[in-house]
Amino acid sequence: MKKTVNQNIMPVSAKIDSDDRLSIGGVAIDTLVQEFGSPLWVICQETIEQAAHSLKAGLAHYPRSLPCYAGKAFLCTAMAKLVQEIGFGLDVVSDGELYTALTAGFDPSKIFFHGNNKSASELRYAIECGAKDKGRSGSSPRIIIDNFQDILRIDEIAQQLDTTVQVLVRIIPGIEIDTHEYIKTGHDASKFGIPLEQIDDAIQMIEDAPGLALIGLHAHIGSQAMDTQAYVDLVALMADLYRQYKEKYGKQMDHLDVGGGVGIAYIDSDQPINLTDWAKSIADAVIETFNNNQLALPELSIEPGRAIIGTAGITLYEIGNLKRLPQGTNYLSVDGGMADNPRPITYAAQYTCDIANRMSSRHSSKAEKWTVVGRYCESGDIIVQETSLEAYQGDTLCVFCTGAYNYSMSSNYNRTTKPACVLVKDGRAAVIIQRESLQDLVAHDRIPSWIATEAGKK
């Protein structure tokens, strides 16, 4: 492939042909835009499979592991099917994600239900879903307890349904990683989990609850982590808690979940940890610390989202208006923006882009500096702050690494329709999420009678 952007940023199947045009999954970008329209989210299946494979390789020497995919990064029925096919469990955080997974036929016993404010109806749905459908394994999702209210609620529902729910407790480990404030979750002031000072009380409450069976602890220290040390520290802290539990209750918790958050490269300077190395360091740390504490090795879960789907996704936009301001700023406008990718405006996320039909454009003598902006009514709707490109109206701009938290955080801001999402592999492309229509936008609208009728106005 010709040298363009850092290849860590591109899907593994990305290729540039002799006409300087990009293809993904063996399908030319021009063909994708012609067939499915613009803007368009494109997901490379091979990249997902390769990431999953790398992660599993790091866990291969560990006796019992259940790697999971954090569905919040990107979930639809096709993705749930793919996650099941690659042999991963699935984290969900809402009834909607759970429903999506079950609709795709995902085994509920491999689902973990998270959330810092799970409603009673969501919890009931999760607890009932395994037992209800005879076609499934009969075992419900495991639920991650985030707070004391969860303990009371889950126990009450379990007793009403005459069942026992397997739970893990999410701890706030007090471990910080160097990432954006909004995606830190392991620090003392985190809204997620139970502080270490309150863990003993929480565990005692669970032990006293007839409807609950404590199977382990969980922690997630944040996202876009570029260093394994924080995970190794976390494992040591958790091993200590497992030892204390065994000393107090004379039995051992059998599952350990150290969260996700491993970072990926969005821009050239990002240096992500190799996925195999990341998983292996965690598994090694568990083996060492649990052995040192004379503890049996628990079933180990790690639960990355973006590291599985992030690099697999690209977004295609049509370039519209090119505005050169006399004060020096050049704006390159595209037909999407913050509604399909809210990460830059939410937490200053950075991205890399290219012209899919002129992949060497950044090296062209005609390249100019552009600020790539979306079409939405916010000055902060900026996709890439400054990039050098030879660009023309009608070109296809392709933004890399948009697989994670783009579709899943997207909105209909300015009453725009959400793009389609297409999965590509081996020269085939198929829609996995249909493009919304204008009719979809008003499908849930209702006009109250006092506005709708003349009589109502009087």
SS (H, E, C) 17-54: CCCCCEEECCEEHHHHHHHHCCCEEEEEHHHHHHHHHH
Give, to the nearest 10 degrees, the angle between helix 120-132 and helix 95-103: 20
Count CA atoms within 13 Å of residue 445 on its CB side: 9
Preceding omega of 304 cis (within 30 degrees of 0): no
| Class of residue 326 by CB neighbours under 10 A (exposed 0-12, middle 13-18, buried 19+) | exposed
Tell me which amino acid residue 266 is.
Y
User: Maximum Cα–Cα distance for the chain, whole Å?
Assistant: 79
* 8 Å CB contact between 48 and 312: yes
* 8 Å CB contact between 260 and 303: yes
Smaller CB separation from ligand PLP, 170 or 362: 170
| Of 68, 76, 377, 398, catalytic | 377
Nearest distance in Å: CB 334, ligand PLP = 25
Nearest distance in Å: CB 19, ligand PLP = 36
Smaller CB separation from ligand PLP, 260 or 419: 260
Closest by CA position to 42, among listed 436, 428, 441, 439: 428
The DSSP secondary structure of 397-418, one letter per residue, reads EEEES-SSSSGGG---GGGPPP
Smaller CB separation from ligand PLP, 222 or 337: 222
Nearest distance in Å: CB 409, ligand PLP = 11
Nearest distance in Å: CB 68, ligand PLP = 8
Those residues whose C-beta lies under 8 Å from the C-beta of residue 13, and which sit 6 or more positions away, are 23, 24, 25, 26, 44, 46, 47, 424, 425
- Secondary structure E strands in 45-141: 68-70, 89-92, 111-113
Catalytic annotation present for 377: yes
Phi and psi at residue 384, to the nearest 5°: -135, 125
Nearest distance in Å: CB 331, ligand PLP = 31
Smaller CB separation from ligand PLP, 72 or 435: 72
Smaller CB separation from ligand PLP, 114 or 124: 114
Nearest distance in Å: CB 74, ligand PLP = 9
Nearest distance in Å: CB 322, ligand PLP = 34
Count CA atoms within 13 Å of residue 353 on its CB side: 32
Smaller CB separation from ligand PLP, 73 or 206: 73
Smaller CB separation from ligand PLP, 33 or 93: 93
Nearest distance in Å: CB 41, ligand PLP = 17
- Binding positions for ligand PLP, rule: CB under 6 A: 70, 72-73, 91, 114, 220, 223, 259-262, 303-307, 404
Measured at the alpha carbon of residue 409, what is the angle toward residues 78 and 407, in degrees to the nearest 5? Answer: 35
Nearest distance in Å: CB 198, ligand PLP = 19
Closest by CA position to 60, among listed 335, 315, 216, 279: 279
Question: Distance between CA atoms of 431 and 161, rounded to whole angstroms?
Answer: 40
Residue in the block written with tokens 């639809």: 76
Cβ neighbours, 10 Å, residue 249: 13
The 3-state DSSP class for residue 262 equals strand
Question: Catalytic residue numbers?
Answer: 377
